[in-house]
C-alpha cells in the first residue's frame, strides 16, 4: 500500500531493503537519537548496543514479514516515509491508556491512538516531510475509525512541540519531571488533536 501525501512524500509499507537503512540509522547516522526518546540511548554499554541492535533487526524482519502478508484492506499502524523516492523515515501509531501510557496490543479500553514520527537524516528536515507524513497518517487513521488522536514527546523536543501545534494538537497531559536527558530533567507531554 502507498499513500501519496503530496508530490514529494509517500507513506508505504516496510520492505526488506529498508533494514539496511535502519542499521545505518542505529549505528552510524545517529543524530536523531538526541530527539526521539533520547533517554533510551544514554549510558548504554557497547554490549547493550550490540544486543539491542540484534533484537531490533529481528523485529524489523518480523515487520517486513507481516507487511508482506497485508492486503490493501489491512489496517496499518506504521508506514515508512519516502521523500522524492528516498527512504528517509517512518511514522507509526500506538494505543495509549487513560494515564497516557503505551498499551501493548489491542485494548478496547484505550484512550485513543498516539502517533509518532522520525525523519532520521538531518538533511531531510525542514522540507515539510514530517508535516505531510503526519497529516497523511492522521487522515488514514481517521478514515479507519480512530476517534481520538494524540502525539507524545518530551518538553525538550521543541521541534516536535511546534509541529504538534502546527497540526492542530493541544496539550492534553503533562507528567512533570519524568524524563532525564543529557543531565536535564524534562516533562513528558501528551497532545490531543483538536481538528
Integer angstrom CA distances of residue 88 from 25, 82, 133, 164:
10, 6, 11, 20
Phi (first) and psi of residue 6, to 5 degrees: -160, -170
Kindly state the average pLDDT of the residues 168-178.
97
Query: According to the model, what pLDDT value does residue 42 have?
Result: 87
Q: Is the pLDDT of residue 5 over 90?
A: no
Query: According to the model, what pLDDT value does residue 110 have?
Result: 84
Q: What is the pTM of this model?
A: 0.92
* Distance from chain centroid for Cα 2: 17
Kindly state the average pLDDT of the residues 32-44.
89
Residue 176 belongs to what domain range?
Answer: 2-193
Question: What is the percent of the chain where pLDDT is above 90?
Answer: 78
- Distance from C-alpha of 75 to C-alpha of 71, rounded to nearest angstrom: 9
Query: According to the model, what pLDDT value does residue 107 have?
Result: 59
Query: According to the model, what pLDDT value does residue 78 have?
Result: 95
Longest dimension (CA), the chain: 46
> What does DSSP assign to residue 101?
P
Mean pLDDT for the chain overall: 93
Q: Per residue in 63-112, pLDDT tens?
A: 999 999 999 888 899 999 999 999 999 999 999 999 999 887 665 678 89
- Distance from C-alpha of 18 to C-alpha of 190, rounded to nearest angstrom: 29
Kindly state the average pLDDT of the residues 4-16.
94
Give the three cell numbers for residue 174.
503533562
Q: Specify the CATH number for the domain of residue 30.
A: 3.40.630.30
- Distance from C-alpha of 18 to C-alpha of 56, rounded to nearest angstrom: 13
Kindly state the average pLDDT of the residues 36-40.
90
Domain count, the chain: 1
Query: According to the model, what pLDDT value does residue 109 have?
Result: 78
Query: According to the model, what pLDDT value does residue 90 have?
Result: 97
- Distance from C-alpha of 127 to C-alpha of 154, rounded to nearest angstrom: 23
Kindly state the average pLDDT of the residues 31-39.
91
Query: According to the model, what pLDDT value does residue 175 have?
Result: 97
Give the three cell numbers for residue 34.
538526541
**Other CB atoms within 10 A of residue 190 CB:** 22
Query: According to the model, what pLDDT value does residue 108 have?
Result: 64
Q: Per residue in 110-167, pLDDT tens?
A: 889 999 999 999 999 999 999 999 999 999 999 998 999 999 999 999 999 999 999 9
According to DSSP, the β-strands at 149-154 and 112-119 are parallel
Amino acid at each position: 500500500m502507498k499513500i501519496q501525501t503530496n508530490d514529494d512524500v509517500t507513506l508505504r509499507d516496510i520492505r526488506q531493503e529498508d533494514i539496511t537503512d535502519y542499521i545505518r540509522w542505529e549505528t552510524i547516522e545517529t543524530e536523531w537519537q538526541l530527539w526521539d526518546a533520547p533517554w533510551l540511548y544514554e549510558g548504554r554499554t557497547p554490549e547493550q548496543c550490540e544486543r539491542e541492535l540484534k533484537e531490533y533487526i529481528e523485529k524489523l524482519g518480523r515487520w517486513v514479514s507481516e507487511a508482506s502478508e497485508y492486503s490493501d484492506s489491512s489496517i496499518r499502524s506504521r508506514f515508512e516515509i519516502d521523500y522524492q523516492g528516498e527512504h528517509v523515515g517512518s511514522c507509526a501509531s500506538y494505543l495509549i491508556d487513560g494515564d497516557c501510557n503505551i498499551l501493548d496490543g489491542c485494548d478496547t479500553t484505550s484512550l485513543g491512538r498516539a502517533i509518532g514520527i522520525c525523519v532520521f537524516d538531518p538533511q531531510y528536515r525542514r522540507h515539510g516531510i514530517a508535516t505531510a507524513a503526519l497529516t497523511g497518517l492522521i487522515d488514514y487513521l481517521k478514515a479507519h475509525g480512530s476517534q481520538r488522536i494524540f502525539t507524545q514527546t518530551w518538553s525538550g523536543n521543541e521541534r516536535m512541540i511546534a509541529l504538534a501545534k502546527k497540526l492542530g494538537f493541544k496539550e492534553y497531559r503533562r507528567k512533570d519531571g519524568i524524563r532525564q536527558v543529557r543531565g536535564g530533567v524534562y516533562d513528558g507531554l501528551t497532545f490531543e488533536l483538536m481538528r
